[in-house]
Amino acid sequence: MKPMGGLDVFAQSLYLLIGLAAVGFFSFQLVKLIMPDQELLAAQARLGVESANRNYRHWSLRLLAPFFRSMLPRIQQFKIPLYRQKKKKLFVVAGVDDQFNPDEFIGLKFCASVSALLIIYIFFLNAGWVFDLSWVGLSLVLGFFLPDYVVWELKRKRQRAIIRELPNVMDLLTLSVEAGMDFMAAISRVIEFSKPGPLREELSVVLKEIQVGSTRAEALRSMADRVELSQISSFASILIQADEMGSSIGPVLRAQSDLLRNDRFQRAEREGAKAAQKILIPLILCILPAVFIVIMGPVICDVYYNQPWLREFFGG
Domains, the chain, in order of start with CATH, read 12-131 (no CATH), 158-276 (1.20.81.30), 286-313 (no CATH)
Q: How many residues does the chain have?
A: 316
The reply to whether the predicted model has a pTM over 0.85 is no
- The answer to whether the CB of 173 falls within 8 A of the CB of 253 is yes
Residues 6 or more apart in contact with residue 109 via CB below 8 angstroms: 143, 144, 145, 147, 148
List the chain pLDDT tens, one digit each, 316 residues.
444 445 556 655 665 666 566 666 656 655 555 555 556 556 655 555 545 457 788 888 888 888 888 788 888 888 888 999 999 999 999 989 888 889 999 989 988 888 888 888 888 888 888 777 888 888 889 999 999 999 999 999 999 899 888 888 888 888 888 888 887 888 888 888 888 888 888 888 888 888 888 888 888 888 888 888 888 888 888 888 877 776 677 787 788 778 877 887 888 888 888 877 888 888 888 888 888 888 888 877 777 677 666 666 666 5
104 C-beta neighbours (distance < 10 Å), count: 20
User: Among positive and negative, which fits the CA dihedral 163, 167, 169, 174?
Assistant: positive
Q: 194 — alpha (psi -120 to 50), left (phi > 0) or beta?
A: beta
Residues 6 or more apart in contact with residue 190 via CB below 8 angstroms: 169, 172, 173, 176, 200, 203
DSSP H or E stretch at residue 156: helix 133-178
